[in-house]
Amino acid sequence: MSSKRELIISKIRDGVVIDHIPAGRALLVLRLLGISGREGGFRVALVMNVESRKLGIKDIVKIEGRELTKDELNLVALVAPTATVNIIRDYEVISKFKVAIPDVIEGLLKCKNPRCITNQQREPIRSRFRVLSREPLKLVCDYCGTIHELNDIEKYFGLA
């Protein structure tokens, strides 16, 4: 068991391992980090549907040579609230923490209501959402009150 686990987690030199992603959401995590697989640069490994004591089955994403910004961590937390982030340097885990869903998400997602003031082209306003519920995810646009769910985030990132 444990050797299998090490095989999965410990093979990148410098970068980030996002573990305990709910099964089926690894691709969404990659998309929201802006990694499509086309733009070279980062070596990425997706491990999908592996056994997890905590979750039953889970996904894992490993990204070589990449760090995550605070905004990116917030987005990851929205779609994978169970995720654990491991920062790897020279093959060692130097830092490990759980993601935390913030109460407010600003400027990272677009409201799906085309008439929302945040979608006006003349005077664009930074989008702002409040988190109403974490699991299942429910976000409300602070300007027009439109409710957004996981499915809307998948659409926004081109996956639904």
**∠ CA 84-86-87, rounded to 5°:** 145
Give the shortest CB-43-to-Zn ion separation in angstroms.
37
**Nearer CB in complex with Zn ion: 25/148:** 148
Q: Which is nearer to Zn ion, 8 or 117 (CB)?
A: 117
The span of 42-50, 71-79, 99-107, 140-148 binding Zn ion (CB under 5 A) equals: 140-148
Q: How many residues bind Zn ion (CB under 5 A)?
A: 7
The mark string for 87-126 relative to Zn ion (x by CB under 5 A, - otherwise) is ------------------------x-x--x----------
Main-chain dihedrals φ then ψ at residue 97, nearest 5 degrees: -155, 160
Among 8, 102, 143, 156, indicate the residue that binds Zn ion (CB under 5 A).
143
- Straight-line distance from the first to the last Cα atom of the chain, in angstroms, rounded to the nearest whole number: 35
Q: Which is nearer to Zn ion, 52 or 146 (CB)?
A: 146
Answer whether 61's CB lies under 8 Å from 26's CB. yes
CB of 102 to Zn ion, least distance (A): 18
98 residue type, one letter: K
Cβ-based burial of 94 (10 A; exposed 0-12, middle 13-18, buried ≥19) = exposed
| In the complex, least distance from residue 17 CB atom to Zn ion, rounded to whole angstroms | 35
Query: Three-state SS for 66?
Result: coil
- CA distances 90 to 13, 41, 65, 84, Å, are 5, 18, 11, 19
The CB-of-119 to Zn ion minimum distance in angstroms stands at 7
**Site of interaction with Zn ion (CB under 5 A):** 111, 113, 116, 141, 143-144, 146
